[in-house]
Amino acid sequence: MSDDKYDNVVKQLCELFQGESANLMKVFAFLQFEEERCQGRTRSGVWNMMASLLTQKKELKVYAEDLLKKATPEEKKEVDEKFVNMQMEIAKHFDTEKALTTKEILQNKQALAAAIGLSFWMEIPHAAQEAIIGCIFDNLTNVPGYTLAAVFLAYEIGVNIYKWHNGTISGKRCAKDVLDSAACLGAGIGGGVAGAAFGALCAGPVGAVIGGLAGGFVASFAGQALMNLLTTEIFDLPKTVALEKAYTFLGVSRNATDEQVKDAYKKRLLECHPDKGGSQELFVKLQSYLGIICVARGWAPKA
């Protein structure tokens, strides 16, 4: 009976967050972190509080939303990392050269459960599983660079770099626009990532890979010095030179597969992020270089 109430928490959250798959994924990431931190659901005050609110749907949703809004810095960091890894691992397992449909992905239950990293994945109703996976993979194509961009690239940054690559805007203008876009990446795990317009083809929870990590310092992305640095070191260079620098920064060759680029990006993200010992300069450079690589591999804004 004890396990049943926790299973019902999962099912109830799926119902309450229907149509809000990004926020549902974040709540689940928090619950997974909480389960691991407390060494089981039965020992978790959060899980038990949710179980006590099962008959009070409105209060349960408010409580779940408040978990994200009121999380401590340590909790935000842990949940953000879990949220990032959840999506990265799904992409790593399933975004092969042949684009898979959501139905095909869901059929591979064992691999999917391992990739998603949620101990209660099998307890999530099929419709909710489909919505979660669909948010990540909908509209992906097998065009080179698209799956890479869809998982990691902030859409507005990609648009600006695409314009620069095609000569529509100057290097200086691109640097300014990239900084402006970086400042809008998100406001942490409570910041409503779905509106941030991430992904190769559509706004959605995949954007939270960056948006979820950005909270706490994005508001200070500004300043002439950083714009000048991006201009002189990246966007005023010949396109071929900038692309070569991008691959060097990630530590891979231009012949690297999308999978290899993604692995390199994940490693560099953990090194460049300001909350992890990096700096704003390194973080914005990383986004810029990823954008350059994606555009060079065929990425383009949705028509």
pLDDT in tens, the chain (303 residues): 456 899 999 999 999 999 888 789 889 989 999 999 999 999 999 999 999 999 999 999 999 999 989 988 888 877 777 776 676 666 656 654 344 566 666 777 777 777 788 899 889 998 888 888 776 654 343 334 444 544 455 667 888 899 999 999 999 999 988 887 766 543 332 222 222 222 332 233 323 333 333 333 343 444 678 889 999 999 999 999 999 999 999 999 999 988 888 888 888 887 887 766 778 788 889 889 989 998 998 877 765
Q: Which of 260, 267, 301 lies closest to 286 in space, CA to CA? A: 267
Structure confidence at residue 154 (pLDDT): 64
Structure confidence at residue 115 (pLDDT): 75
Structure confidence at residue 192 (pLDDT): 28
Indicate the SS3 state at residue 168. coil
> For residue 205, how many C-alpha atoms fall within 13 Å in the half-sphere facing its CB?
28
Give the span between the Cα atoms of 295 and 290, in whole angstroms: 9
Cβ(284)–Cβ(182) below 8 Å:
yes
pTM, whole model, 2 decimals? Answer: 0.52
In total, the chain counts a number of residues equal to 303
Give the span between the Cα atoms of 154 and 210, in whole angstroms: 7
Structure confidence at residue 131 (pLDDT): 83
Structure confidence at residue 191 (pLDDT): 29
Structure confidence at residue 263 (pLDDT): 83
From the number of C-beta atoms within 10 Å of its C-beta (0-12, 13-18, 19+), residue 74 rates as exposed
